[in-house]
Structure 1
Amino acid sequence: MEPLTTNCVALAVLLAAPVALWVGPGRLGPHDRWLLVSVLGSGGTRLAAHVLGARSTNRRGSSSARLRVAVRGGAYFAASCVALHVLTVLFGAPIVELAADTFLFALLLATYTALPCLCLRGPDFTRWVQLLVGSWHGTPNERATAVVVMGSLAGAWLGAFPIPLDWDRPWQEWPITCTVGATLGHGFGLLAASGRRRWVAEHGNYKI
């Protein structure tokens, strides 16, 4: 993916800003602020690394071609946010009540899952599915990305289990536990992918 694409995706990541204006500064709670910081921090770090990597490879192409890829990249990330929002509602999230919180959670999950696929495979849903399904036969980067994505999704799913329990704790409110679960799953995925790459590299199976 070209550097211009990552700039466009960065604008899509900033969808968090209008959501913050929608709910209002006074109504933006600590969890919502933490969601925004996580999205911008994680997404910004990954995008910055991708931009630096793209520049180091000195990729070239016509301006019009790069612009088309950039627009598609931003559109794919935005579509991923909407799709994850709908999927979250289908799994039981409130449709109208706490809709802003649900969208922020979908934005976070898209940053943890769709953005890595977009940076590695470009704007192509078919290639994303191929990445996740056939990752163990792919490159080291593809394996690492699949582990991170699956860890994020698994963490978000496991994080939903405490919500219906009759404990009456403040942290059981939607989507706190799912957010924490997705973040922990994402972190464990990063650690597992990094550990596996280092272990295999030391044993000489492939070079980083």
Structure 2
Amino acid sequence: MEESYDISDPRVLKVVAHPLRVRLLGLLRSDGPATASELGRAVGESSGSTSYHLRELARYGFIEEDPDRRDGRKRRWRARHRYTSWDNRRMHATPEGREAVGIMQARQVEVLVQAMRSFDETGWPAEWLTVAGISDDMIQLPVEGLRELSDRMGELVHEVAARHAGRPDAVLVQVWRAAYPREQVIEAARRKEEER
């Protein structure tokens, strides 16, 4: 499996941003090769619907048939890349690109919310309850600082994953990283008031 699928065409990013397609691709990346029927049962859709969306993902290079795991007449699909990436600046150069990024980021938030709900409903042991979750910090950084933070967080994720790879007690863990500059709302309101 290749590391990343770097998308530069907003139309291709929109293809994967479809709610069902992003779920199917995520399952193939996390759980491995599967048939349309298996994926349909997993997401509560018909195999006809999942087949159509799998063919669309294949058409745009996100997935492929798994030649090593052919099941008679059943097609087994596998992801071609570990993750999907794009250059925000390049995408934001056009209205279509901005729209595609907005749709994709909304899908990412939906996946995060679903993962949180699933964790809460599953009943994980207490030791997982103490380490899993979400938090936020508010820090002041210049652009270079945010770039450094993002790069180092990515390096840390890969370093820790490599160190614990293959352990029998390891489970699949979803990790999200997000950082956005934020306008100081109160200060902006004061400026507006002073302009009146």
- Normalising by structure 1, we get a TM-score of 0.27
The structure that is strand-richer by fraction is 2
- Normalising by structure 2, we get a TM-score of 0.29
The structure that is helix-richer by fraction is 1
